[in-house]
């Protein structure tokens, strides 16, 4: 055993460096950028016959994964660092997606099946005479982006402000977030809402004048996604490492104590919640042009809770863990659903159980175990947690 | 009594038939024997058949009813050679099977060339229907009499009225008698020219909910030819009163639907009130426990297809055992390891719910299963013409209350309940006192899950039984428990019923989905205001 250990010593040191907040995570950024750039180049520059050629399908798949990774990171910020388990983050993701979808819908113009220059197809189909007021201005990209950010942000603010001010915590909050996304799903299923009902928004043609089916657009979308993911990651890291981040962790570990020390904990929670919702909304906005559809199914509680398991698999409270977890689980999902579709829910269910019971801190926790000594010095407060990031105050609530 | 009625009827019939002028309708001192009339039926013309039916009714009375019904359905045939009358029914292979008329014995298969149908036309059909109604009225039991009178209200004429009066003189129950008076009033309102008489008739009619009454009054109010202002005013007043009563019963119906939805919510939430409310375990697989109960019902019905009536009675304990033991397995296998980490239990049990759903999908099918409703649960209880209660909803309402009472009794009176409460209030102290907390945990979770299974049996009667059955109830169940106040059984009861009623009263104005959304949003806001629910726990138990 000891010989193995000495032989693998450099590897451990490398893991330890990886776990250092500064250098290790920059390494993740590097990998992300290099991989996506390489994939883009392989798609655009190499001929399809080449063994190194990356298909556009793969490019789009990768873009989708990275959007999910961003969503997972949004959940990790509030769950891993602030102890707020949101089972409704899919709602912010979907709202952002609907904002972008509305813009893309308006870009179709008179190229729809019914050829109506103003009304999207589904409105013509439902015999609507004019555009509902909330669709106005959505043909302008900047305005659509603004709305797609403002609506989820506002929703998160109102919800968070109400919830955290009356000190709704723990399980209650989780169930309420789930009810929120469920209510939104029911609402968006209604045709009267003016968002395409059951079918949602689809059949998009182009974005900012670029054809959505073109390889170059797909690659550009992937690169933009990577870039925004990296920016979101660095910003989030800066936040959690700042003084603000320390207070947030303190709120997670003992909200009552932080409050007695004079911090207005609910304000920290509300703003972090809004920030997290905005990241989720950006992820949704990037997701829609790449997959080409947004429908009320995105609001389903199952989707939101799946995000939580990505974070749990990767290891919460680490940011990079959320990204890695989202990529791994989604890759597994793609493979599983192609090979044995029936087995996927079994596997996902088992993943939920195994991770929570045996790996409460996910894959990042495994790394920690390898490099326990280093990890302890780097993140002293993390080693002391006995219940995986939840304080007793939350448990009793 | 019967003989008396028959004689009375013959006298009436004689009077009634006089004006028709048919030679065969002459009053006859003694009715011709049924047999001889029947012999004339084969090959008779349509007009002749009508006369024969009249004679048969006169001679045979109530005994002719099955014949009339067969005739009305167009199943009456005769054998060409012998002229023997018989009922012909096609069996599943399309063969024409003969059945003897009054004994109901099978006569074997017949060739279509050997038999000929006794023809009926629309006039004859309506005559047959009237005859059946008359027979019902004079010879049927009370329910049949009521149905017969109600049928006559649609098409009241002098003849029907006289028949009704005869029946009334012969002695009928108070309810039938009131209906007959109503019929008299309706005729009086239409035919009389005396204002006082007509006002008296409207007086009788007001507040009645039968559709013909409403229609007649409506016609009277709308008609231009009506000269009598007082009558029109009175009719309008009566109509207003009727619509007032109808609105009241409409509200009652809403209330009943609300209570019914509430009972469903209560059933779904009641098991959760134990696992979540008492144990503090977030069981996201709770919905799947309900689903297992519903599938158990399905399996039991497959096992005993000849005794569907008893299947639900068998399914209740079976579902309790199935869901309960799965619950104990989950507790022993997973939840035990997650003591004091509620958010992790949430995730783990969610994983279990996915596994159970997929398991059901693989074992049965992704499609919905057909669960049969036993006969004693189908049909409805008509309280008046505009308000009736379906039996399945009524039974489920009562069942949910019974389950609730049983559960409260277990928690308050049994030693298991005592242990459960002790462990939930102070685990360490209970352990120190010698309570086997591990055992109690498993039992409590099993109890909560078993109750969910029982709920599944009831829900299988109302909704589709499919793999997603549980999912659709889980959020509502949590809402009910949180709304009522965690750890409070009474809160769950009040929460379930108030959410159900609120939902149903919103529905007419907003539509079902929007009502659901509004209730959810209101709940979210309510929990912000009172995070501990309607009936928060107080004292030490709250910590």
B470-491 pLDDT, tens digit each: 888 888 888 888 888 877 888 8
DSSP letter string, A334-394: HHHHHH-TTHHHHHHHHHHHHHHHH-TTHHHHHHHHHTHHHHHHHSHHHHH-SSSS--HHH
List own/partner pairs for B139-143 with CB under 8 A and 24 or more apart: B139/B2, B139/B5, B139/B61, B139/B62, B142/B172, B142/B173, B142/B175, B142/B176
By the 8 A CB rule, do A105 and A119 touch? no
In Å, how far is B529's CA from the nearest CA of chain A? Answer: 7
Which residue of B lies nearest to A361 if distances are taken between CA atoms? B344
Q: Is residue A55 part of a domain?
A: no
Q: Is residue A235 part of a domain?
A: yes
pLDDT tens readout for residues A149-187: 999 999 999 999 988 988 887 788 888 898 899 999 999
Q: Is residue A47 part of a domain?
A: no
Is residue B30 predicted with pLDDT exceeding 60? no
Which chain A residues are Cβ-neighbours of B517 within 8 angstroms?
A: 183, 186-187
In Å, how far is A341's CA from the nearest CA of chain B? Answer: 11
Cβ-defined contact of A345 to B527 (cutoff 8 Å): no
Look at residue A15 in the predicted model and tell me its pLDDT: 53
How many angstroms separate the CA atoms of B297 and B453, rounded?
Answer: 10
How many residue pairs from chains A and B have C-beta atoms closer than 8 A? 128
Structure pTM? 0.76
Nearest to B508 by CA among B518, B498, B495: B518
User: What average pLDDT score do residues B109-133 get?
Assistant: 80
Look at residue A250 in the predicted model and tell me its pLDDT: 93
How many angstroms separate the CA atoms of A221 and A225, rounded?
Answer: 6
Which residues of chain B have a Cβ shorter than 8 Å from any chain A Cβ?
Answer: 282, 334, 337-338, 340-348, 350-355, 357-359, 361-362, 471, 475, 478-479, 482, 513-514, 516-517, 520-521, 523-525, 527-529, 531, 543
Name the E strands within A275-322.
293-294
Cβ-defined contact of A170 to B523 (cutoff 8 Å): no
pLDDT tens readout for residues B263-299: 989 988 988 888 887 787 888 899 999 999 999 999 9
- A214 DSSP 8-state letter: S
In Å, how far is A93's CA from the nearest CA of chain B? Answer: 20
Is residue A376 predicted with pLDDT exceeding 80? no
Which chain A residues are Cβ-neighbours of B475 within 8 angstroms?
A: 175, 178-179, 182, 301
Cβ-defined contact of A305 to B352 (cutoff 8 Å): no
Higher pLDDT, B408 or B95: B408
How many angstroms separate the CA atoms of B341 and A40, rounded?
Answer: 44
Q: Which domain holds residue A276?
A: 62-303
Mutate to test the interface with B, among A183, A197, A316 (most CBs of B within 10 A): A183
Report the residue from B342, B354, B520 with minimal CB separation from A349.
B354
How many angstroms separate the CA atoms of B202 and B235, rounded?
Answer: 6
Look at residue B10 in the predicted model and tell me its pLDDT: 52
Report the residue from A167, A346, A387 with minimal CB separation from B355.
A346
What are the CA-CA distances from residue A163 to residues A157, A158, A166, B347 (Å)?
Answer: 10, 8, 6, 22
Look at residue B205 in the predicted model and tell me its pLDDT: 81
Q: What is the dihedral of CA A372, A374, A379, A380, to 10 degrees?
A: 80
Higher pLDDT, A88 or A9: A88
Look at residue A307 in the predicted model and tell me its pLDDT: 94
In Å, how far is B157's CA from the nearest CA of chain A? Answer: 50
Query: H or E segment at A101?
Result: helix A89-108
Angle at B266 between CA B263 and CA B269, to 5 degrees: 150
A356-370, B47-61, B144-158, B288-302: lowest mean pLDDT where? B144-158
Look at residue A290 in the predicted model and tell me its pLDDT: 93
Look at residue B168 in the predicted model and tell me its pLDDT: 76
How many angstroms separate the CA atoms of B232 and B216, rounded?
Answer: 12
Total number of domains in chain A: 1
Which chain A residues are Cβ-neighbours of B360 within 8 angstroms?
A: none
Q: Estimate the crossing angle of helix B174-191 against helix B142-153, to 10 degrees.
A: 10
Query: Which range has highest mean pLDDT (B4-8, B231-235, B419-423)?
Result: B419-423
Instruction: Kindly indicate the confidence band of residue A14, based on its pLDDT and cuts at 50, 70 and 90.
Output: low
pLDDT tens readout for residues A17-39: 445 554 456 788 888 999 999 99
Query: Which range has highest mean pLDDT (A58-67, B107-116, B171-180, B387-396)?
Result: A58-67
Report the residue from B342, B350, B527 with minimal CB separation from A305.
B350
Q: Is residue A166 part of a domain?
A: yes
Which chain B residues are Cβ-neighbours of A360 within 8 angstroms?
A: 341, 344
- Complex prediction ipTM: 0.79
Cβ-defined contact of B351 to A175 (cutoff 8 Å): no
Q: Is residue A367 part of a domain?
A: no
């Amino acid at each position: 055993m000891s010989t193995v250990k000495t032989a693998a010593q450099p590897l451990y040191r490398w893991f330890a460096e990886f776990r250092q907040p500064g250098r290790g995570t920059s390494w993740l950024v590097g990998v992300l950028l290099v991989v996506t750039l390489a994939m883009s180049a392989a798609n655009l520059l190499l001929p399809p016959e080449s063994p190194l050629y990356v298909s556009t399908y793969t490019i789009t798949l990768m873009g989708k994964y990275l959007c999910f990774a961003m969503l997972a990171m949004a959940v990790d910020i509030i769950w891993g660092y602030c102890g707020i388990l949101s089972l409704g983050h899919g709602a912010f993701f979907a709202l952002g997606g609907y904002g972008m979808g509305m813009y893309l819908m308006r870009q179709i113009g008179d190229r729809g099946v019914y050829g109506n220059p103003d009304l999207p197809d589904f409105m013509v189909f439902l015999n609507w005479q004019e555009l509902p007021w909330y669709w106005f201005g959505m043909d302008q990209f900047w305005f659509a982006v603004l709305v797609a950010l403002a609506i989820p942000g506002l929703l998160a603010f109102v919800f968070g402000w109400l919830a955290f001010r009356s000190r709704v915590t723990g399980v209650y909050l989780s169930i309420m977030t789930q009810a929120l996304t469920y209510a939104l799903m029911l609402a968006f299923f209604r045709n009267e809402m003016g968002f395409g009902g059951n079918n949602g928004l689809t059949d998009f043609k182009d974005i900012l004048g670029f054809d959505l089916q073109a390889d170059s657009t797909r690659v550009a979308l992937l690169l933009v996604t990577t870039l925004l993911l990296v920016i979101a990651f660095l910003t989030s890291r800066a936040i959690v490492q700042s003084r603000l981040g320390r207070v947030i962790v303190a709120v997670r570990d003992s909200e009552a104590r932080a409050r007695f020390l004079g911090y207005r904990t609910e304000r920290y929670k509300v703003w972090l919640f809004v920030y997290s919702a905005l990241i989720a909304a950006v992820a949704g906005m990037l997701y829609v042009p790449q997959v080409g559809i947004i429908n009320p199914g995105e609001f389903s509680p199952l989707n939101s809770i799946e995000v939580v398991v990505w974070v749990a698999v990767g290891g919460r409270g680490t940011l990079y863990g959320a990204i890695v977890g989202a990529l791994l689980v989604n890759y597994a999902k793609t493979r599983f659903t192609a090979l044995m579709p029936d087995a996927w829910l079994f596997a996902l269910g088992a993943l939920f159980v195994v991770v929570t019971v045996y790996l409460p801190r996910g894959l990042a926790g495994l790394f920690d175990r390898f490099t326990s000594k280093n990890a302890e010095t780097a993140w002293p407060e993390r080693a002391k947690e006995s219940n995986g990031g939840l304080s007793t105050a939350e448990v009793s609530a | 009594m019967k003989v008396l009625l028959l004689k009375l009827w013959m006298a009436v019939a004689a009077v009634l038939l006089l004006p028709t002028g048919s030679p065969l309708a002459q009053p006859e001192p003694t009715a011709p024997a049924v047999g001889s009339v029947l012999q004339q039926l084969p090959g008779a013309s349509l007009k002749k058949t009508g006369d024969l039916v009249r004679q048969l009714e006169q001679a045979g009375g109530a005994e002719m009813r099955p014949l009339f019904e067969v005739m009305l359905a167009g199943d009456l045939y005769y054998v060409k050679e012998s002229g023997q009358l018989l009922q012909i029914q096609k069996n599943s292979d399309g063969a024409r099977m003969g059945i003897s008329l009054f004994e109901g014995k099978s006569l074997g298969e017949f060739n279509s060339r050997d038999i000929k149908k006794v023809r009926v036309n629309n006039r004859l059909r309506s005559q047959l229907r009237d005859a059946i109604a008359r027979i019902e009225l004079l010879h049927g039991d009370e329910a049949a009499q009521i149905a017969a009178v109600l049928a006559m209200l649609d098409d009241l004429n002098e003849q029907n009225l006289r028949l009704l009066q005869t029946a009334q003189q012969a002695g009928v129950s108070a309810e039938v008698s009131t209906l007959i008076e109503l019929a008299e009033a309706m005729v009086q309102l239409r035919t009389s020219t005396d204002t006082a008489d007509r006002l008296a008739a409207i007086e009788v009619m007001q507040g009645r909910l039968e559709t013909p009454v409403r229609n007649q009054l409506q016609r009277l109010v709308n008609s231009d030819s009506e000269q009598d202002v007082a009558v029109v005013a009175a009719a309008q007043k009566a109509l207003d009163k009727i619509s007032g009563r109808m609105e009241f019963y409409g509200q009652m119906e809403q209330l009943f639907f609300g209570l019914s939805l509430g009972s469903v919510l209560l059933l779904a939430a009641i098991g959760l009130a134990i696992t979540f409310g008492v144990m503090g375990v977030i069981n996201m697989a709770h919905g799947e426990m309900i689903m297992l109960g519903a599938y158990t019902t399905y399996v039991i019905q497959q096992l005993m297809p000849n005794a569907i009536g008893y299947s639900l009675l068998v399914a209740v304990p079976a579902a309790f055992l199935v869901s309960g033991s799965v619950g104990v397995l989950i507790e022993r296998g997973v939840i035990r390891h997650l003591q004091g980490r509620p958010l992790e239990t949430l995730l783990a049990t969610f994983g279990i719910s996915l596994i159970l759903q997929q398991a059901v999908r693989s074992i049965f099918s992704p499609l919905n299963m057909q669960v049969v409703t036993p006969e004693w649960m189908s049909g409805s209880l008509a309280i008046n013409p505009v308000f009736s209660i379906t039996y399945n909803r009524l039974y489920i309402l009562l069942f949910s209350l019974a389950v609730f009472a049983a559960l409260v009794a277990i928690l308050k009176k049994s030693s298991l309940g005592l242990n459960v409460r002790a462990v939930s209030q102070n685990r360490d102290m209970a352990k120190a006192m010698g309570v086997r907390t591990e055992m109690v945990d498993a039992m409590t979770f099993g109890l909560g899950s078993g109750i969910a299974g029982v709920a599944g049996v009831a829900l299988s009667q109302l909704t589709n039984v499919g793999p997603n059955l549980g999912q659709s109830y889980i959020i509502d169940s949590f809402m009910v428990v949180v709304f009522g106040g965690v750890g409070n059984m009474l809160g769950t009861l009040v929460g379930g019923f108030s959410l159900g009623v609120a939902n149903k009263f919103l529905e007419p104005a907003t539509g079902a989905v929007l009502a659901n959304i509004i209730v959810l949003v209101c709940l979210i806001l309510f929990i912000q205001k009172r995070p501990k629910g309607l009936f928060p726990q107080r004292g030490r138990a709250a910590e």
